[in-house]
């Protein structure tokens, strides 16, 4: 008798670990998007940076190099998290993605009506 996957000891721990990994990957991807959308931006008008009003009101010395460097680091962090999370999610769900591509190719090749007809014959 062949033992099915469901009967393995520790199955619940394995499922929990996989769920946490998926959650971590999604959190990585979403945090990259959040940094990109919520981070303050440097505005450029007439080929020059427009300094934020808060910097001007503080009266401290303005260092445009530091502001530009900070902007670049924020964009780099957002890109790394977003692209890294997307690639990791694609790798994690590669089987589902491959099945979807195979289904799409079969629909293009045979048409939707042939797949619907096959589904109807299986239900009978």
Over residues 63-68, the mean pLDDT reads: 81
Please report how the helices 64-92 and 94-110 are oriented relative to each other, as an axis angle in degrees rounded to 10: 70
Q: What is the pLDDT of residue 66?
A: 83
Using a 10 angstrom Cβ sphere, with 0-12 exposed, 13-18 middle and 19 or more buried, the burial of residue 43 is exposed
State whether residue 45 is helix, strand or coil: strand
Quickly state the pLDDT bin for 1 (edges 50, 70, 90): very low
Domain definitions of the chain by residue range: 16-92, 95-124
User: Which stretch of DSSP H or E encloses residue 103?
Assistant: helix 94-110
What does the radius of gyration of the chain's CA atoms come to, in whole angstroms? 25
């Amino acid at each position: 008798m062949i033992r099915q996957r469901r009967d393995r000891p520790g199955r619940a721990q394995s499922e929990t670990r996989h769920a946490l990994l998926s959650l971590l990957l999604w959190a990585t991807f979403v945090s990259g998007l959040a940094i990109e959308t919520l981070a303050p931006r440097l505005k450029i008008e007439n080929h020059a940076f427009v300094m934020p009003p808060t910097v001007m009101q503080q009266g401290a010395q303005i260092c445009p190099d530091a502001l530009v460097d900070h902007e670049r680091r924020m964009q780099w962090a957002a890109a790394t998290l977003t692209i890294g999370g997307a690639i990791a999610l694609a790798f994690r769900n590669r089987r589902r993605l491959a099945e979807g591509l195979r289904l799409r190719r079969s629909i293009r090749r045979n048409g939707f009506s042939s797949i619907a007809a096959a589904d109807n014959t299986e239900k009978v």
